[in-house]
Amino acid sequence: MATKGFQKFTNKIFGGKSESPQSEMRKEQVVVANNRKSAANMISKLKCINLYDKKNQIPQEVIAEEEFQKVINWAIKELSEPTVFTRDISSLDEKIEFAIDAFSKAIREGWVTTARWAATALNQGLSNLRQEISGIDVPNADALYEKRLNFAIEMENIVKASQDYDTAEIALKKQQERYQNKNNQVQKLKEELNDFRNTIEGAQLEEEIRQNAHKPGSLSKEARDLRQKYEEYHKLFGSMQEIYLEIMTKTSVLNDCDRKIETIRNHLVELPTVNDPMLNARIERANNMYLKNLQKTLDDIEISRRTYDQYLSKLTQISNHKVFQDEAAKVIATMQKIENEERERLDRSIRNAQLIKAKLQRNAEKQKELAGLKEEINNLHLENEKLYQENTLQEDDYETDYEDEEEYNENIEYEYEPE
């Protein structure tokens, strides 16, 4: 029977005792179970977030604008997928769970910047980081997981910086409100003192205060009251200055947090993804081809620029030549002549148009007069026709009174016989 010392010696020489396949399988099952348990815990926390609770401080318009509810629903669906992770990703899940907790707290406290970055961290963690590493990238699995974990840590840092930013911003708003209230009190008291100073009584009391500056006990009650108001004014003004210093301090903290967020944000430019050697080779070839084409384009541009400079130099020389200047003067004179002729033609057209317009107006007036004359003629025709009808009726009456023409003529002669 081998002793423990001898067993340790043999383990050291021959690499120790290898674990059985059953033991490795049990460890893998434990890892898978822990990963699923972590996902279930994150789902439970996400379901507890109520964006529409009246106790929440974040504005509803921000919730609607950022579509936070869709982010939560998508995250729950993503975590519910039956994905099997054979690697222990508990460290990565801790960072994603921190983003969920920060998001929930930001909704309650009204931290807009934190809510946005926490939602971004949740999205990045589930869509790009919490993935199984397999296939072509297995040899680099540990290095890739380490990159993803570092990326998640940077996301956690930017969420923490956002919390500091929101805390400083809310504190700054409160200090600004305090400063405004103090400033209103100071301005109101200042106006009262200025108005009272312009009165006779106020001038007398101020003179009394100056004369008894080292003997305050000799002041009258009115002078003591005025002096107390001045002390109150200076006290309010000093308090306002203290608040102003606090505002400047909070503003400095806010700027530091902003710079910190921007710095961390620059670290998140490159997202760690699966490394495909074949894909990298194709990307490198495409990049080399792009650089080659770019260099050719730059060379062509340089040749074109030189050619352009040559033509520009020749054109400058030609333009300075006397023959060119004479020809240019002739062209300018010709163009001026054409322009004058066109202007005269345009003026004639305008005058003709005005004459035609006047003629049309006269024709319209004549048409109007003719229409009036026509109407009068029609009226005369109607009157003539009416008179004709009346005369016709009278003749019919005469025919009914006399039996024949002779009797009618006799009567006519009788009626018009001279006396």
Q: Tell whether 160 is covered by a domain.
A: no
Q: Tell whether 209 is covered by a domain.
A: yes
Q: Are residues 100 and 200 in the same domain?
A: no
Q: Are residues 28 and 94 in the same domain?
A: yes
Q: Tell whether 161 is covered by a domain.
A: no
Find the range with the poorest average confidence among 23-27, 193-197, 275-279. Answer: 275-279
Q: Tell me, what's the pLDDT at 284? A: 64
Q: Tell me, what's the pLDDT at 5? A: 52
Per-residue tokens: 24: 């490795």
Listed residue (89, 77, 78, 92) closest to 32, CA to CA:
89
Answer whether 365's CB lies under 8 Å from 371's CB: no
Q: Tell me, what's the pLDDT at 8? A: 52
The mean pLDDT of the chain is 78
User: In which band, very low, low, confident or very high, does the pLDDT at 394 lie, cut at 50, 70 and 90?
Assistant: low
Own/partner contacts of 192-199, CB < 8 Å, gap of 24 or more, are 192/229, 193/229, 193/230, 193/233, 196/226
| Last residue in a domain, options 76, 107, 132 | 132
User: In which band, very low, low, confident or very high, does the pLDDT at 416 lie, cut at 50, 70 and 90?
Assistant: very low
Which of 308-317, 351-360, 405-414 ranks highest by mean pLDDT?
351-360
**Total structural domains in the chain?**
2
Per-residue tokens: 217: 């006990």
- DSSP 8-state assignment for residue 416: T
Q: Are residues 28 and 128 in the same domain?
A: yes
Res. 296: pLDDT tops 90? no
pLDDT tens readout for residues 131-149: 766 544 556 777 888 888 8
User: Which amino acid would we find at residue 45?
Assistant: K
Q: Tell whether 168 is covered by a domain.
A: no
User: In which band, very low, low, confident or very high, does the pLDDT at 10 lie, cut at 50, 70 and 90?
Assistant: very low
Q: Count CB neighbours of 414 within 10 A.
A: 8
Q: Tell me, what's the pLDDT at 366? A: 81
Q: Tell whether 376 is covered by a domain.
A: no
CA dist 138 → 14, 28, 30, 62, 93 (Å)? 27, 17, 21, 42, 21
Q: Tell me, what's the pLDDT at 200? A: 83
Q: Are residues 46 and 118 in the same domain?
A: yes
Of residues 154 and 401, the one with the higher pLDDT is 154
Q: Longest C-alpha distance within the chain, in Å?
A: 195
User: Which amino acid would we find at residue 300?
Assistant: D
pLDDT tens readout for residues 328-338: 777 777 888 88
Q: Tell whether 327 is covered by a domain.
A: no
Of residues 412 and 256, the one with the higher pLDDT is 256
Q: Tell whether 8 is covered by a domain.
A: no
| Last residue in a domain, options 132, 167, 192 | 132
| Last residue in a domain, options 225, 249, 267 | 267
pLDDT tens readout for residues 208-231: 777 776 776 777 777 777 778 888
Of residues 184 and 335, the one with the higher pLDDT is 184
Q: Tell whether 255 is covered by a domain.
A: yes
Cα 53 to Cα 127: distance, rounded to the nearest angstrom:
28
pTM above 0.85, yes or no: no
Res. 199: pLDDT tops 70? yes
Domain limits at 193?
175-267
What percentage of the chain carries pLDDT values higher than 90?
Answer: 14
pLDDT tens readout for residues 101-126: 999 999 999 999 999 999 999 988 88
User: In which band, very low, low, confident or very high, does the pLDDT at 13 lie, cut at 50, 70 and 90?
Assistant: very low
CA dist 207 → 195, 219, 231, 234, 292 (Å)? 16, 11, 17, 19, 89
Q: Which residues of 305-333 are buried (b: 16+ CB within 10 A; e: fewer)?
A: eeeeeeeeeeeeeeeeeeeeeeeeeeeee
How many Cα atoms within 13 Å fall on the side-chain side of residue 117? 26
